[in-house]
Structure 1
């Protein structure tokens, strides 16, 4: 078929409803209240502002409110600090709620994972029933019937069944690979395509996948809240365009302006080996890459399009794969990435304040640097650190440490950052996570690299006469003897990296100041 890439086909369109057939609510209906779980995640963080724009009252249930302290919509929502394991807390959070969005799903695959996911879903469903919530909306995974699914996909299917059997009207959307900047699935495709001109791959790269643009996922989620009739069933959603995983990588390369990629499908499935390979060459850690790869072992194509009878398609129609890739890349170039997989579900103990360090064995590397550059210019460099901007000292040494971290199953340096110039609490910056930010003053990063202990990096500025005093300190709480030996092993690298980092940050700030002065 002309214009359709090798390994792909288009699903015939299902008749779309006319205006009178749509069950979607209109502007005369009373304003409804929704509760979003997973608001700090990739999909939830994008859905909340769209719900607000559509006129809903929005409550968000979060374990760590500080993770949404910097989002633009923070003051427009009601924040409930609680967790999904507290049935009484759930009932309180659901008081007065018409629609519950359940957008929480772990990427774990260990023993007991499925049972725990079902238990959590059961608690939520029970609380929704007691609170009189009229609808639950869940986003699950697209999968073929009657086959043995991976642990990850089986868990998503069972959570959907819990809601459908709960006695509360539930809509379970089943989507395949979500294409959008910051999506874990998209990042996997992107990094494989950009890193490997020739890729020997397992046999599953020939499986059929029906991708869907993140904007279309959000369209369906938003539409589910507006439905006025009783609905309790699952719906397949997708772009109606089916490609092989191999074709998706090739099409990504074309859209990104890369040379043609050669993908060689080998006659072995090898999900664990493929998961390890993905973890090494992409930002996705092993703990997430394995369930992602396992979910690709079978075709993921929609079997029905009944959703068209309830929710009209987006204006302009569903988004094709190449268009979705182009939109994702365009958002990044414009610095408009709203959410990213790397910022979802990350909670860890914060750095104890200095007086509480008594009783800990603590190692410090502290640096100061005076410059004649105004603090606001130095801060611009600090808040833009990491990702494509780098770490301002010995790039090779940082890359080597990043690859060592990847080899040990850590995050490495490939996660980058969501926005090139702005940071918020909870966001990933390479192998770090933003734990605290006092804009214009202090940035504290918590390490998520593999190490025998806990580590932080603090960067701060303060006025110093007509210039700036820049402070930098690396903090390490070792774990046992291995932690102490680790610190001794990295000390030589610190003596090279950290002094250069201080100087180069000041120089970069001077360059920014000179550039501002030269601008008309």
Structure 2
């Protein structure tokens, strides 16, 4: 199958490409300028195409002749990401229709069960809107919804890591986060589910992807502190609105402020699987990775000889193409 991976230089895309190649698929990799830039071990095994998602003609040229498309485009680092993400999705949907692409798989955010659209954060509302746009095309469209993705270089993981690093002894935790539950998933499990979803060309709708552990956010922070061998005292704060928390977390990390603020606003709801992908796609040929193991593997120092994006290596580890703010 010829699979187009949008944003192949991105965090998930750079890890998805070698997994698809290992399964025998032909990969079309897109980037804004149609080049690799990073010396990935797989970069000569794919065809590179330029795809500026805001240029409809370039999008049409990029998707020509492909069977399936992995949609990994998100614009959280842009203040106007809601409008831009919608336009990007519309351009891809229209190009997919024109080219006769059969199947689209979109990696989205987990939507809390039973939550009205009006109560969603802008981040999740945007993800849901993109899902609706892509589902309105002629291709079968499958959305995989994930909460916190664990792995070195993942924005949500880096917020946890960098806040823990820069507040070494005491960690303030807003009371509204104390009982909110989350079901994190390791990035290698995300990649495996993307591959399974792309291969299931008749599957449409949405599935939630999550790991084997469900915990509160304070419990997640405690597990991280335990793995690094540096316990923290958590101080409950009776009052700390999401806007203020997002600003504080943004100031404490190197992750782009707009991304941090968007992620923090999504912490108000339980982020656990209700339509679990395991019930449809099964587990990806092995036991899903737990939170403790995922954190431990993600903390491995970067080693070019064991690049997380290379074939046969560990996607949870750092990769040469990861954002500079994750190092």
TM-score over 0.5 for the pair: yes
Pairing of 1:50-449 with structure 2 (within 5 A):
50-108=19-77, 110-111=79-80, 113-144=81-112, 145-147=114-116, 148-196=119-167, 197-206=169-178, 207-228=180-201, 230-258=202-230, 260-305=231-276, 307-330=277-300, 332=302, 336-338=306-308, 428=324
User: CA offsets, 1:221-251, max 9 Å, x none?
Assistant: 01112225x2220101101321111111110
Aligned equivalents of 2:101 and 2:301: distance in 1? 36
Quick one: structure 1 residues 309 and 250, their matched pair in 2 at CA, closer, same or farther if it must change by over 3 Å?
closer
User: CA offsets, 1:20-60, max 9 Å, x none?
Assistant: xxxxxxxxxxxx10001111110001101111111111101
User: CA offsets, 1:364-399, max 9 Å, x none?
Assistant: xxxxxxxxxxxxxxxxxxxxxxxxxxxxxxxxxxxx
Quick one: structure 1 residues 331 and 310, their matched pair in 2 at CA, closer, same or farther if it must change by over 3 Å?
farther
**Please, what is the CA RMSD of the aligned residues?**
2.3
Aligned equivalents of 1:195 and 1:240: distance in 2? 29
User: Which residue in the other structure is 1:41 paired with?
Assistant: 10
Q: Which has the larger radius of gyration?
A: 1
Aligned equivalents of 2:326 and 2:91: distance in 1? 35
Q: Between Structure 1 and Structure 2, how many residues are aligned?
A: 314
Displacement of 1:153: 1.2
Residues 36, 43 of structure 2: 8 Å contact kept: no
User: CA offsets, 1:119-156, max 9 Å, x none?
Assistant: 21011011111111110010000121323111111101
Displacement of 1:263: 1.6
SS of the aligned residue for 1:68 comes to coil
Instruction: Using the TM superposition, name which of 216-225 and 67-76 deviates more.
Output: 67-76
Residues 278, 284 of structure 1: 8 Å contact kept: no
Unaligned runs of at least 5 residues, structure 2: 310-317
Higher relative contact order at CA 8 Å, sep ≥6: structure 1 or structure 2? 2
User: CA offsets, 1:423-460, max 9 Å, x none?
Assistant: 67x962789xxxxxxxxxxxxxxxxxxxxxxxxxxxxx
Aligned equivalents of 1:108 and 1:427: distance in 2? 12
Residues 181, 331 of structure 1: 8 Å contact kept: no
User: Which residue in the other structure is 2:313 paired with?
Assistant: none
Displacement of 1:172: 0.2
Displacement of 1:320: 1.0
Quick one: structure 1 residues 177 and 138, their matched pair in 2 at CA, closer, same or farther if it must change by over 3 Å?
same
Aligned equivalents of 1:124 and 1:296: distance in 2? 29
* Deviation >4 Å, runs of 4+: 331-335
TM-score normalised over the length of structure 1? 0.57
SS of the aligned residue for 1:83 comes to coil
Residues 19, 192 of structure 2: 8 Å contact kept: no
Residues 34, 51 of structure 2: 8 Å contact kept: no
TM-score normalised over the length of structure 2? 0.88
